[in-house]
Structure 1
Amino acid sequence: MTTPTTAATDSALPYTEAWIAGPNAHQFYTRTYAASPPRAVIIFVHGFGEHVGRYEASFPAFPKRGVTLFAYDQRGFGRTALDAEHKSKDAAYGKTSWAEQLGDIEWWVKYLVKEYPGVPVFLMGHSMGGGLACAFPTRGSSGPPSSDTVKLLSGVIACSPCIQLTNPKPKIVVFAGSQLGRILPNLAIPAGVNPDDLSRNPPRNQAYMNDPLIKPTGTLKGVDDMLNGGEKLLETGWKHWPKTLPTLFVHGTADRVTSPKASESFFYKIQSEDKTYTPYPGAYHELFQEIDNIPEKLSDEIISWVEAHLSTTTGAKL
């Protein structure tokens, strides 16, 4: 078991911080919102260009109801990519791929199953992270992950998943980027988002713009994998969704970044015997940053959905 390096954390904060050596000893910044004792564990995978610190207002609600929430800055983003003291030597902003990201999720699933023996583990992702959460159980024989790891999950929660963009790039542009990415996968390219498209909450949108851990760039490989990976989910990936794996989809109907129509299409295609889709009327992309008490409603819905699935599942074991 990897021994985490605990970061200095204010005892008044609702989470603990740690740097953990993941796959190939890559250093990841993590936060744990711990319930004592936990009835369930959620692994949270954030979106493109962001980091787990953006969810400080919502995540404390989870341990209050007995759900431990574990979140990490993804490979290529946040502190995992930018912290000068702790980051891995090969870390760079936007430097990532779906194979690595899915491998990372697999590693975290196994890690948390060992850390919390007998406690049900759920996977939750937002935007790019939501696309990865959808892809995780649908890899078939192309892995990662292995089917044995998928069986360790008690459910999947997809928040505004990036399956398709609301306004897709021209196919010729995507194709050209994909071809160039084969030669220069880590070439940095502009990949910013209009902050006004994120939510109807101007202060939160401005905070996004002022955040030093958010850069308006990506890499050819990282962006190409995200866009083409979502397309493949709609084409063939949905066929591999395990029938017994429960899933909850939530999406704002006015999302200007990722397509709610694509999200619905994927949802209705998968053959899950236990699936729920909740549209949030008028809401934009970042439901956890929205107005009209949507973040509170969303947290309650997710926690209630997890609670409803505790009686039908038992904690996984490796």
Structure 2
Amino acid sequence: MGLALTTAVTASEPGLRLAPEALRQPPEPPTQSFSVHEATPHRLVAPDDTALPLRRWGPAPEAGESPEAVVLGLHGFNDHAGAFVATAAALVPEGIAVYAYDQRGFGATGSRGDWPGTGVLVSDARWALGSLQRRYPDTPIVVMGLSMGAAVATLALDDAPTLHPEAAVLVGPAFWGGSAMPAYQRFALWAAERMAPGLRVSNEWIGIEPSDDPAVLQALEADPRWIGAPTLEAIVGVSDLMDQALRGASGFNGPATLIQYGSADEVIPPAAVCALFRALPDDAPWRAALYPGGYHMLTRYTGAAAVLADIRRFIADPGAVLPSGEGLEPAAARRAVCQSAGG
């Protein structure tokens, strides 16, 4: 049996509901896992009383440990918080605590498979970040978004003056909205939303591989919380989310942000990343790392060690040279990606 869910706040109060017994014996992330999907005793409770499964790894004050930094993880489309186990395995030895929750409509949430809407996802991310700021008022907090989570992260940080993370990491950022799509794809999404929004589309039918590691792909196939056949409504919804994030990129002004992208990404094409890099201001505090042969799931492919080493270094010092040697300033990153996109 799992631990009984007890709370660090009153039963009627939203926020982080953390199981004290689990915190006193913080779990070490398994180093050979690419995802975890067993039940977790922790929850993030939103202001509307929706309880979202929450995972955490690393130092906890209840165990007499103070983290050097705290990462808030936002997972990608069809995925869940267990996607951060490999990241946690790389960061926990550095004294970094990692928190990640199942976003609404995903993982073990009650609305799994339903598209919640961009506004709800963004509101939840803001609430999660604010809750961590209240728990760790004097500790640097880094927001890390994978794919769709990167789009949610940037929208959450836009025009949110009470939120002040130290830095952000956007991994395989999904900013491929209508404004960056070819006309035929925009029409297909429009038609699908109106004619068959409940129809499910198998990821196998699409034929896109997010990683080159067979063990990762096998783990996804065996994961009961991974959504292998999203609805067309969800696909249209995430496209709208990505489009909103892309349109908002021109106003980006921080925090210090590292954007990681792989040249073998089969999910987000170079044209979409080119559009993002062109939209981001040159004088804003962002830079990129472009990984030759890197797949969409950069933290879960055969070259993930270099990606995770860069994340560790960036969290320790956002201005430092990345150990992979793949770091680029805005102008150089824009040239490299847009040339590969043929633009």
TM-score (norm 1): 0.79
Partner residue in 1 for 2:311: 302
Q: Residue 130 of structure 1: which of 139, 142, 150 is its match?
A: 150
**1:17–1:32 contact (8 Å) kept in structure 2:** no
What is the letter of the counterpart of residue 170 of structure 1?
Answer: Q
CA RMSD across the alignment: 2.9
Shift in Å, 1:205: 0.7
Gaps of 5+ in 1: 82-90, 139-145, 312-318
**1:267–1:277 contact (8 Å) kept in structure 2:** no
Per mean C-alpha deviation after superposition, the further-off stretch among 31-40 and 266-275 is 266-275
**1:109–1:149 contact (8 Å) kept in structure 2:** no
1:13 and 2:24 aligned: no
Q: Residue 285 of structure 2: which of 274, 279, 286 is its match?
A: 274
Partner residue in 2 for 1:315: none
Q: Residue 241 of structure 2: which of 223, 229, 244 is its match?
A: 229
* Separation of aligned partners in 1, 2:195 and 2:168: 33
Percent identity of the aligned residues? 23
What is the letter of the counterpart of residue 171 of structure 1?
Answer: R
Q: Residue 190 of structure 2: which of 169, 175, 181 is its match?
A: 175
* Separation of aligned partners in 2, 1:22 and 1:210: 30
Partner residue in 1 for 2:221: 209
Partner residue in 1 for 2:162: 149
Gaps of 5+ in 2: 1-8, 10-14, 30-39, 60-64, 321-343
- 1:150-165 maps to which residues of 2 (within 5 A)? 150=163, 152-164=164-176
Of structures 1 and 2, the one with the larger relative CO (CA 8 A, separation 6+) is: 1
Q: Residue 285 of structure 1: which of 292, 296, 305 is its match?
A: 296
What is the letter of the counterpart of residue 13 of structure 1?
Answer: P
Change (3 A) 1:176 1:23: farther
* Separation of aligned partners in 2, 1:300 and 1:66: 14
Structure 1, residues 131-163: CA drift from partner, whole Å, max 9, x if none? 21233334xxxxxxx52234x122221100111
2:132 alignment partner, SS class: helix
Shift in Å, 1:29: 0.8
**2:57–2:88 contact (8 Å) kept in structure 1:** yes
1:283 alignment partner, SS class: coil
**2:262–2:294 contact (8 Å) kept in structure 1:** yes
Shift in Å, 1:12: 7.9
Shift in Å, 1:283: 1.6
TM-score (norm 2): 0.74
